[in-house]
Structure 1
Amino acid sequence: MGRGNSALARVAVIVRAPAGWLWWLGVLSAGIGLLVPGLTGRRIGVLGGAALFVLVGAVVFAARRRRYERLARGASRAGRAVFLQDRAVTVRNWRRSRRWWLLLAFLTAIGSSFAAPATLGLALAGAGAGLWAKAMWLGGLERRSEALLWIRTEWATGSPAASGVRGYLTTGVGAGDAGAGGGRR
């Protein structure tokens, strides 16, 4: 599976790509939502949003972790003829393919503030925090195995743990331009 010409993207970078966008759009929509008193009032909205922040963050962090571990254990070594995609290219591709979904989520979070101020904005920020924590967990998994996890770019259109993903490929820890957890080096 690890032989032949193909392009590879880092698994941790794909997981981390939406984290910043979801976090900042969630914080911004929660801040805008605080300007509207809403049906439930600001206090209930913020308390409900704080509970959703923790709940959504925990669910996003825990989702599919066993699948990630199983794919990491069965990873094969990447061949010499593969092309490693830059971190910036992976993030840009993710953002371009999902920009309308991000805009829709942002507008929905602002619109929901008329019912419960800041609630969905904080939930959106919780999803971003959960994805960031999962990327850090993947970075720890890479450090323990002393190998970076990669996925073929054509399999990375959805989640790197989706059912269509057949396996991961590994390289040495010096490959690519992203650090552990998908951050900049």
Structure 2
Amino acid sequence: MARAGAQVLARVAVAVRAGAAPLWWLGVVAAGVGALVPGLTGRRIGLLSGAVFFLLALAAVFAVRRGRYAALAESATRAAKNDVLQDRRVTLHNWRRRHRWWLAAAFLAAVGSSFALPAAGGMLLAGAGAGLWAKAARLGRLERDADALLWVRVDWLAKGPAGKRVGSYRRTGIAAGDAAPGGARRPARV
């Protein structure tokens, strides 16, 4: 239960990384299914186009709002003592639950596009997932350099961790929370 005046905070890198695995795996499966279909253009052209789409999606997703993330990270304020830090697992679950229909529609569109350009739609999805992983890794480097983890208010996450509604980030020490810098699961302590 949250204390009076407390805000629930989610890790920025975890919120960015939440879509990476679903997009990657749905893209890989859609590309695999798409490679089985000869399509209108043929498999070779579809796979070559898919490779280009993969690289373009990776670069575009990685570059989107890059400056805003850096500016918000630089101006982050210290989290209050009564703020509640949300678990990594909860952040992932909430993001995936909120976006499940978009993921399903993207998967079906990627598989459907294979009848025209085999595997290209799936590789585009996989590229978007890889771009999110790269962006989360960059955030992890920013966190390590600053020796602080970045957090955002959960009620601001509707349009993403760097959306217009996000006014500022909060920061905590590097040991706070259950996710490592970059949003990955922390290694088990022995």
Please give the TM-score of this superposition, normalised by the length of structure 1.
Answer: 0.97
Of 155-164 and 170-179, more deviation after overlay is shown by: 155-164
Q: 1:157 Cα deviation (Å)?
A: 1.7
1:124 Cα deviation (Å)? 0.4
Per-residue CA deviations over 1:46-96 (Å, capped at 9, x if unaligned) read 000000100110110011110001101111000000110000000000010
1:58-97 aligned within 5 A: 58-97=59-98
Q: Give 1:156 deviation, angstroms.
A: 1.1
Report if aligned partners of 1:16, 1:131 keep a CA contact under 8 Å in 2: yes
Q: Confirm whether residue 18 of structure 1 aligns to residue 19 of structure 2.
A: yes
Structure 1 unpaired stretches of 5+:
none
Decide whether the 8 Å contact of 2:159 with 2:165 is kept in 1: no
* Structure 1 SS opposite 2:26: helix
Mapped contact 1:26–1:123 kept (Cα < 8 A) = yes
State the SS of the aligned residue for 2:168. Answer: coil
Superposed CA deviations along residues 111-162 of structure 1, whole A, max 9, x for unmatched, are 0000000001000000000000000000000000011000000001221111
Residue number in structure 1 paired with 2:149? 148
Deviation at 1:180, TM superposition (A): 1.2
Residues 20-169 of structure 1 aligned to structure 2 (within 5 Å)? 20-169=21-170
Q: Identity, % of aligned pairs?
A: 61
Q: Secondary structure at the match of 2:124?
A: helix
- Separation of aligned partners in 2, 1:149 and 1:59: 23
**SS state at 1:9 partner:** strand
- Do 2:15 and 2:92's aligned partners in 1 also have CA atoms closer than 8 Å? yes
- Unmatched 5+ residue regions in structure 2? none
Secondary structure of the corresponding residue to residue 8 of structure 1: strand
Give me the whole-angstrom Cα distance separating, in 1, the residues matched to 2:180 and 2:148: 12
Q: Is the 8 A contact 1:4 1:79 kept in 2?
A: no
Is the contact made by 2:53 and 2:123 (CA closer than 8 Å) also made in structure 1? yes
Counterpart amino acid of 2:10? Answer: A
Q: Secondary structure at the match of 2:18?
A: helix
Tell me what 1:184 maps to: 185
Q: Which amino acid in 1 is paired with 2:100? A: R
Q: CA RMSD in A?
A: 0.9
Q: Report the Cα distance in structure 2 between the residues aligned to 1:4 and 1:43, rounded to whole angstroms.
A: 59
Q: Quick one: which amino acid aligns to residue 52 of structure 2?
A: A
Aligned residue pairs, count: 183
